[in-house]
Chains A and B, each alone.
Chain A
Amino acid sequence: MSLRGVAAIVGVGDTPVGKLPGWTPTELCVEAARLALADAALDKSAIDGLVTCDSMVEPHMYHAEMIAQTMQIRPRWCMTLSAGGATNLAAVHHAAAAIATGQCTTVLISAADTLRTGLSPERAQAQMTSTGDPDFEAPYGLPVPGSYALIARAHMHAFGTTEEQFARVAVTTRAHAALNPAAEKRTPITVGDVLASRLIADPLHLLDCSLVSDGGAAVVVGGADRARDRPNPPVYLLGAGEGRSHEHVSRAPSLVESAARESGRRAFDMARLGPADVDFAELYDCFTPVVLIELEDLGFCPKGEAGRFVEDGHTALGGSLPTNTHGGLLSHAHPGNPGSMFGLTEAVRQLRRTAGRRQVPDAQIGLVHGQGGILSSHCTLILGREAPRP
C-alpha cells in the first residue's frame, strides 16, 4: 500500500530560538507541542500517537514516555526516534504508516534542545569528540565541521566546485532569514563576508557552518480524511522516502553522492511527481556543501552542477527553486537534531501561504529533506497544498 495522501499535517508550532536561558529541553519540547496543538485546535486528549527525539543536553532513557508524562497523555503508539537530522521527517513517515494501518489517529511529533545555553564547554567537547568512530576516527581529533570539510573538498576536486559557490548558499539563506522575523541571524551577508570569516576546517569558514541554538518545534499529523475539520488548511503528505548508507565518514561509500538519491527517488515515486513539480525546498543545511549535494542527489540539477545552480540564483526567493526560505540551520536556528523540524513547519506555512514576506507565490508542492550523521541517514518528504487525486 502507498502512503500517498493518507496523512496530513494539521498543526505546527515553533518555539522562539536563539539563546533561551531558563528553559530546559523538556520545557521547550512541551511548549512546541502546546503551540502545535493550539494551531490544530486540538485538545491533548486527541493525541494517541507520540514521537520525540532525545535531547543531547538532557538525555532520557525513555524520552517519549517522559514527554507523555510531562504532558499527562497516554499515547498508544509512541517512540523516541534517532536518525540525527533526519529524525523529525522520518517521524512523519512512520506516523503516516501508523495512521494508515489504524495503529493511531493523531500523532504529535515534538523535538527541542538547548545546545546554545545548556551544554557546558566540557560537555560540548565530549559531544564533538564522540561523533566519530571511537577507535578509528576520534583519535585524530576531527571535529564535526572537519568531517563535512572532507565532503566539501571531495566535491571541489570531483566537480570544480568553488568556495565562492559554498558561500553563495550561506548568502542566499541569510537573505531569506532577513525576511523571517523569527530567525536568529537577519543581517544580510556577502560572499566576501563568508570567505573573510575565519577558517574552521579548510575549506569551510565560520559562515559555512550552521548555528548552535536553543529551540524546538512540533507538528500534529492526522488522517487526511478528517484533516479539513481543523481550522487551518491541512498540508498533505504526498511522498516519503528514506535512505541510509553508513554511519562514519571514513566508511562512506562516496564522499560526493549520498543516500539522498534513494530517499528522494522513493519520495518522488510515491508522490508520482518529479523535481520539476516542486515549488520550493527546505533542505538540511548543517554546512553549505550539504545543500549542493542534496540539490544534486534529489534531482534538482545534474551531479556536480549544484554550485552553478546556486550561483545562478535558482535557490533564491524568485528563483526556480526557492530553498530554505526561513533561513535554514545556517541563519534561522540549529538546536541539533530538532533542527529539521523548522524546515518542516516552514514548508507547512509556505503551503498554507502564511509565510509573509518570504512567501513563495502560488506554492503548491514543497520538498523537505533531512540528513543525519555525516551524510549517513536521509529522509525526504513531499508535501502538497491539495489532497492528491487517486
Chain B
Amino acid sequence: MTTPGKPLPVPTVVTAPYWEGCRRGELRLQRCTACGALQLPPQRHCRRCLGDALAWQPAAGTGRITSWTVVRHPVSTAFAAHVPYIVAIVALDEGPTMMAGIRDCTPDAMHVGLRVEVLFEERSDAIALPYFRPANHA
C-alpha cells in the first residue's frame, strides 16, 4: 500500500504571489482595482465584478474563528500522526474567510469568535501554509 502524502498546494501564475507572501511570512489579499472587493483565495477574476485587474495588499493577519472542529479520524494516513488536530474557518478582519489549521490552542480553549493571528508552517521549500493561533499568543 502506498501512503499518500499531505496534499501540497501547486502555485499558478495567479496564485504564486500569494504563496510567495506566505513564504516571506506575509498573508496577502487580492484587491479588485475596479470595484475594490477584497478576496481570498486568489483567482484570475474578481468574484464580485469579474474584473481581471487585481492587485495585492498585505492582510493584518488577524481575524476571528467562525467555526471549528477537532479531527479525530484522519483524512488519510499522512495525517494519522497528528490526530487530534483542529481545523477552522477564519474570518479575516478585512472580510474574506479562509480555512486554516489552528496551532497553540487546545480544543477546550476553542470557541466561535476567538481572536486569532496568522503564523506560517513550512511544508516544502516553496510552500509555507498559513495557520492561526490565539491572538496575543505569548
Contacts and interface: CB of A to CB of B under 8 A. Distances in A.
B100 A140 contact: yes
A143 B73 contact: yes
B87 interface: yes
B85 A141 contact: yes
Nearest to A154: B67
B45 to A, nearest CB: 14
A139 B79 CA distance: 10
B71 to A, nearest CB: 5
Max chain A C-beta neighbours (<10 A), residue from B2, B87, B101 = B87
A201 B70 contact: yes
A286 to B, nearest CB: 16
A137 interface: yes
A153 interface: yes
Contacts of B73: 143, 145, 200-201
B82 A140 contact: no
B4 A150 contact: no
Contact of A125 (B67, B76, B99): B76
Contacts of A201: 69-73
Interface in B26-79: 40-41, 66-79
Interface in A115-166: 121-122, 125-126, 128-129, 132-143, 145-146, 149-151, 153-154, 157
A141 B87 contact: yes
Contact of A251 (B67, B82, B97, B101): B97
Interface in A154-212: 154, 157, 198-204
A166 to B, nearest CB: 13
If over half of A's interface residues share one DSSP class (helix, strand or loop), that class is named, otherwise mixed; here it is: helix
Interface residues of A, number: 37
B66 A139 contact: no
A249 interface: yes
A191 B59 CA distance: 44
B68 A150 contact: yes
A249 B112 contact: no
A255 interface: yes
Given A139-B129, A142-B75, A249 B4 contact: no
A202 B85 CA distance: 10
Contacts of A138: 7
A153 B6 CA distance: 26
B90 to A, nearest CB: 9
A255 to B, nearest CB: 6
Contact of A146 (B10, B40, B87, B100): B87
Given A140-B87, A140-B100, A122 B8 contact: no
B76 A128 contact: yes
B75 A249 contact: no
A46 B72 CA distance: 51
A232 interface: no
Contacts of B98: 136, 250
Contact of B123 (A139, A143, A249): A139
Contact of A141 (B8, B10, B75): B75
B72 A200 contact: yes
Given A129-B75, A137-B99, A141-B76, A202 B69 contact: yes
B95 interface: no
A202 B107 contact: yes
Contacts of B4: 122, 125-126, 129
A143 B87 CA distance: 10
B118 to A, nearest CB: 14
A249 B67 CA distance: 11
A128 B75 contact: yes
A156 to B, nearest CB: 8
A280 to B, nearest CB: 31
A142 B89 CA distance: 11
Nearest to B72: A199
A122 B78 CA distance: 12
A142 B87 contact: yes
A249 B99 contact: yes
Contacts of B6: 139, 141
A135 B9 contact: yes
Contacts of B40: 136
A202 B41 contact: no
The 5 closest A-B pairs by CB, nearest first: A149-B69, A135-B9, A250-B99, A138-B7, A141-B79
17 contacts: A122-B2, A125-B76, A133-B99, A134-B10, A136-B98, A140-B100, A141-B82, A143-B73, A143-B74, A146-B71, A149-B69, A150-B88, A153-B68, A202-B72, A249-B89, A250-B98, A255-B89
Interface of B: 1-2, 4, 6-10, 15, 40-41, 66-79, 82, 85, 87-89, 97-101, 107, 111-113, 123, 129
